[in-house]
């Protein structure tokens, strides 16, 4: 028996894969899948390499406008569009996949401990052969197995609002905490948020200041920062998704990396850590380095960066390349525009 803690998209996906070979049970502390939503739900088309989630896409985005503090901006048009997901439908897609493959689910089931081959869920002990922690940023599975490490978090504060927006354009605001965003669901509804280490609320108010809007939902939450030193595999315990800090620190995107790691866990337990690091380790590390560098930027530096990116030869590279692989983009960018070196 394999026990998986957490019925988020990553937990359900890994459960659906493992259920082809093993008996699998998922324990979820909440009573329902996909609620409350704490996500912007934007992913690159790289998700197509993992699963086909087209039915859960509610908007596609061809252009990202990156706006510097001095209000100058660049529009980057992507050859392959980004997807805006209906996160509730998205989570249910993976849940249904797991149910179809015979996974057992228990809701209102809080994992508390793991000792001597038994997990404690609420007040019941259950025998298990292997334990998978897909239980999000504060992973109790990680804590109870001394795999929590020294993880750090960013706070993403987001409102789903009724407001007039451009339907096929995402706006990214530099200099608002780590960054701010406006992601349209359609021309009347958007997800507007800011991510920062300390005070995203101040920047979010600034972002909303000159806009007419009505708040429909608060969708805020914490995002773990990738920790390359974290142990994600220890004897019979495995961590995946946010529980393993598999999130791109530059964009706080955790869905594609989490699902890619889940795919590796679904293939093999033995070399899981080595295998997922081979697939996404370098990109997660580079994203972390980019975040650390950007954290030192002030308004002037962001203005200078956007100025350089406005040049056609640089824009061309970003538009063509897959943003889930920053290493590929960085190298080409430097060849085209050596002055970018001073920003790196």
Residues that bind ligand FAD (CB under 6 A): 5-11, 27-30, 38-43, 110-111, 134-136, 140, 156, 158, 193, 219-221, 223, 241-242, 247, 252-256, 258
Half-sphere exposure (Cβ direction) of 334: Cα atoms closer than 13 Å: 9
Distance from CA of residue 215 to its chain's centroid? Answer: 23
Which CB atom, from 145 or from 220, has the smaller least distance to ligand FAD? 220
User: Shortest Cβ distance from residue 68 to ligand FAD (Å)?
Assistant: 22
User: Shortest CA distance to 95 belongs to which of 38, 23, 19, 11?
Assistant: 11
Which CB atom, from 202 or from 334, has the smaller least distance to ligand FAD? 202
Helices (H), ranges, 82-197: 87-100, 140-144
> Do 197 and 214 meet the contact criterion of CB atoms below 8 Å apart?
no
Which CB atom, from 127 or from 342, has the smaller least distance to ligand FAD? 127
Which CB atom, from 191 or from 321, has the smaller least distance to ligand FAD? 191
Q: Give the residue nearest to ligand FAD (CB).
A: 254
The tokens for 43 are: 């992913």
Q: Any long-range contacts for 265-274 (C-beta under 8 Å, 24+ apart)?
A: 265/14, 265/17, 265/18, 265/132, 265/238, 265/240, 266/13, 266/14, 266/17, 266/18, 267/17, 269/130, 269/233, 269/238, 272/232, 272/233, 272/238, 273/231, 273/232, 273/233
User: Shortest Cβ distance from residue 342 to ligand FAD (Å)?
Assistant: 30
User: Shortest Cβ distance from residue 302 to ligand FAD (Å)?
Assistant: 21
Which CB atom, from 179 or from 302, has the smaller least distance to ligand FAD? 179
User: Shortest Cβ distance from residue 42 to ligand FAD (Å)?
Assistant: 4
Neighbours of 167 (CB within 10 A): 15
Which CB atom, from 11 or from 175, has the smaller least distance to ligand FAD? 11
Which CB atom, from 108 or from 307, has the smaller least distance to ligand FAD? 108
User: Shortest Cβ distance from residue 62 to ligand FAD (Å)?
Assistant: 17
Q: Is the peptide bond before 36 cis (omega within 30 degrees of 0)?
A: yes
C-alpha 211/C-alpha 99 separation (Å) is: 43
User: Shortest Cβ distance from residue 162 to ligand FAD (Å)?
Assistant: 18
Which CB atom, from 242 or from 301, has the smaller least distance to ligand FAD? 242
User: Shortest Cβ distance from residue 109 to ligand FAD (Å)?
Assistant: 6
Helix H or strand E encompassing 118: strand 118-121
Could you tell me the sign of the dihedral formed by the alpha carbons of 259, 264, 270, 273, in that order? negative
User: Shortest Cβ distance from residue 219 to ligand FAD (Å)?
Assistant: 6
């Amino acid at each position: 028996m394999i026990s998986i803690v957490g019925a988020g998209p990553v937990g359900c996906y890994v459960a659906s894969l493992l259920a082809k070979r093993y008996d699998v049970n998922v324990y979820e502390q909440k009573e329902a899948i996909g609620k409350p939503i704490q996500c912007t739900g934007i992913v690159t088309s790289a998700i197509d390499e993992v699963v086909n989630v087209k039915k859960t896409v509610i908007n596609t985005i061809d252009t990202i406008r990156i706006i510097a503090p001095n209000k100058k901006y660049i529009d980057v048009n992507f050859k392959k569009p980004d997807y805006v997901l209906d996160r509730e439908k998205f989570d249910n897609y993976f849940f249904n996949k797991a149910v179809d493959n015979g996974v057992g689910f228990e809701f209102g089931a809080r994992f508390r401990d793991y000792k001597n081959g038994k997990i404690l869920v609420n007040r019941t002990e259950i025998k298990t052969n292997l334990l998978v922690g897909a239980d999000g940023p504060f992973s109790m599975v990680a804590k109870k197995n001394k795999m929590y490490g020294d993880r750090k978090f960013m706070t993403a504060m987001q409102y789903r609002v009724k407001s007039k927006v451009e339907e096929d354009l995402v706006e990214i605001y530099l200099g608002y905490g780590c960054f701010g965003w406006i992601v349209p669901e359609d021309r009347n509804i958007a997800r507007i948020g800011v991510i920062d280490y300390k005070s995203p609320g101040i920047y979010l108010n600034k972002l909303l200041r000159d806009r007419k809007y009505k708040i429909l939902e608060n969708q805020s939450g914490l995002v773990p920062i990738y920790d390359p030193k974290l142990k994600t595999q220890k004897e019979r315990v495995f961590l995946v998704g946010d529980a393993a800090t598999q999130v791109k620190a530059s964009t706080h995107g955790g869905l594609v990396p989490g699902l890619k790691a889940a795919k590796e866990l679904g293939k093999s337990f033995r070399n899981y850590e080595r295998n997922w690091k081979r697939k996404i380790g370098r990109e997660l590390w580079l994203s972390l380095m980019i975040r650390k560098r950007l954290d030192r930027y002030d308004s002037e530096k962001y203005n200078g960066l956007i100025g350089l990116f406005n040049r056609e030869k640089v824009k061309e590279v970003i538009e063509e390349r897959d943003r889930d692989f920053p290493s590929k983009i960085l190298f080409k960018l430097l060849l085209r525009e050596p002055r970018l070196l001073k920003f790196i």
